Amino acid sequence: MPTISIRRRLARLLYRRQTLLLLLLLTPPLLWFGVVYLGSLLALLMQSFYTFDDFTMAVTPELTLANFRAIADPANPLFGANIDIVLRTLGMAAAVTVACALIAFPIAYYMARYARGWQKGFFYIAVMAPMWASYIVKAYSWTVILAKGGIVYWLLQVLGLTPLLEAVLSLPLVGGSSLSTSNLGRFMVFTYIWLPFMILPIQAALERVPLSLLQASSDLGARPAQTFRTVMLPLAFPGVVAGSIFTFSLTLGDFIVPQLVGPSGLFIGNYVYTMQGAVGNIPMAAAFTVVPVVLIGLYLTLARRLGAFDAL
């Protein structure tokens, strides 16, 4: 009787016990996920219940709800400033999401339904190439582009549209002293940087719509606009939501672009960065990080309610 090698025995064992194989495959990534990712998140959450002494700048493990009250309790003196930060970030995230969706959709539509051959490859590379460039380099380049002596100002001057720019910049919420220190400028940079994340999911969703569905719609009497509204758009909607999750959450957590472009005024990311850095108020920073988690959770629930995940 031939002896079976250890390796062969092990292979047969794993073939018989499929659960054991699954366990062996999943344990390393699950360990990493559990310990490193979830564990660190939980440790951070724990920190949010600790006390920070303003005088001694020391963190003590005494449990308190003071940090959360500063964010959620209107009676708390810090509430006003904190809620400003949250609303500012939320507003920008919403605006960027809408803008990205509106800009990305036509591009994704062309890519999915009209681009053929070399055009398709060209579009893919054109959309993804910016993602290969360093994020900070891109943000910095935009400060140069939007600066007072920069290209945008020069172009508007050549076209004689400088008064229009002045008018826009003097608007209360949107404007600022110059383009690169205005909310409009910050909004433009955000939209540019997150655009590929919106284009690709929409393009994938649009591509999946079978041609026979569009032909059936046309056959039944729907004009092209009706076909678009009643068939194309609903089937592309999950792609839009998937892209919006990216743009929304990325804007909520970002702290680099607000520093480089736009007026003074902290975003959630900036505040967390400041708190945990020079100030050392880790509990407050931790409490603030819970805010985006809750907001994204609400957003996903809303998306699910709207049926974005039905296709899954």
Partner 1 sequence: MHPAVEFQQVSRVFDTVRAVDGVDLTVAEGEFFSMLGPSGSGKTTCLRLIAGFEQASAGCIRLHGRDAAGVPPYERDVNTVFQDYALFPHMSVLDNVAYGLMVQGVARAARHRQAEAMLAMVKLADFGGRRPAALSGGQRQRVALARALINQPRVLLLDEPLGALDLKLREAMQTELKALQRQLGITFVYVTHDQGEALSMSDRVAVFKQGRIEQVSSPRELYNRPRTAFVADFVGGANVIDASLAQGLIGRAQAFSVRPEQMDFVTEDDGGIRLAATLVDVQYHGAVSHYQVVLADGRQLAVSRPNLLDATQAAPEPGQAVVVGWPAHAMVMLEA
157 is an interface residue for partner 1 by CB under 8 A: no
306 is an interface residue for partner 1 by CB under 8 A: no
Closer residue to partner 1, CB minimum distance, 54 or 219: 219
What number of residues does the chain have?
Answer: 312
Q: Which residue type does 151 have?
A: I
Among 226, 279, 297, 301, the residue binding partner 1 under the rule CB under 8 A is 226
Would you tell me the crossing angle of helices 183-207 and 135-146 to the nearest 10 degrees?
Answer: 130
Closer residue to partner 1, CB minimum distance, 162 or 215: 215
97 is an interface residue for partner 1 by CB under 8 A: no
Among 51, 76, 178, 218, the residue binding partner 1 under the rule CB under 8 A is 218
Among 59, 66, 235, 250, the residue binding partner 1 under the rule CB under 8 A is 235
Closer residue to partner 1, CB minimum distance, 218 or 274: 218
169 is an interface residue for partner 1 by CB under 8 A: no
210 is an interface residue for partner 1 by CB under 8 A: yes
Closer residue to partner 1, CB minimum distance, 112 or 232: 232
Closer residue to partner 1, CB minimum distance, 77 or 221: 221
Closer residue to partner 1, CB minimum distance, 158 or 225: 225
- Rounded to whole angstroms, the Cα distance separating 282 from 50 reads 9
> In this structure, what token pair is assigned to residue 188?
């433009």
Phi/psi at 147 (5° precision): -65, 165
- Rounded to whole angstroms, the Cα distance separating 311 from 103 reads 24
Phi/psi at 75 (5° precision): -75, -20
- Which residues on neighbouring strands pair with residue 51, listed in sequence order? 60
309 is an interface residue for partner 1 by CB under 8 A: no
222 is an interface residue for partner 1 by CB under 8 A: yes
> In this structure, what token pair is assigned to residue 104?
């990305």
In angstroms, give the least distance from the CB of 227 to partner 1. 8
119 is an interface residue for partner 1 by CB under 8 A: no
Among 102, 215, 277, 304, the residue binding partner 1 under the rule CB under 8 A is 215
234 is an interface residue for partner 1 by CB under 8 A: yes
E strand residue ranges, the chain = 51-53, 58-60
Cα distances (Å, whole numbers) of residue 182 to 138, 176, 177, 189, 274: 18, 4, 7, 11, 21
221 is an interface residue for partner 1 by CB under 8 A: yes
220 is an interface residue for partner 1 by CB under 8 A: yes
Closer residue to partner 1, CB minimum distance, 225 or 278: 225
- Rounded to whole angstroms, the Cα distance separating 194 from 139 reads 12
Burial class for 14, CB neighbours closer than 10 Å (0-12, 13-18, 19+): middle
- Rounded to whole angstroms, the Cα distance separating 155 from 166 reads 14
**Contact residues for partner 1, defined by CB under 8 A:** 210, 212-213, 215-223, 226, 230-231, 234-235, 310
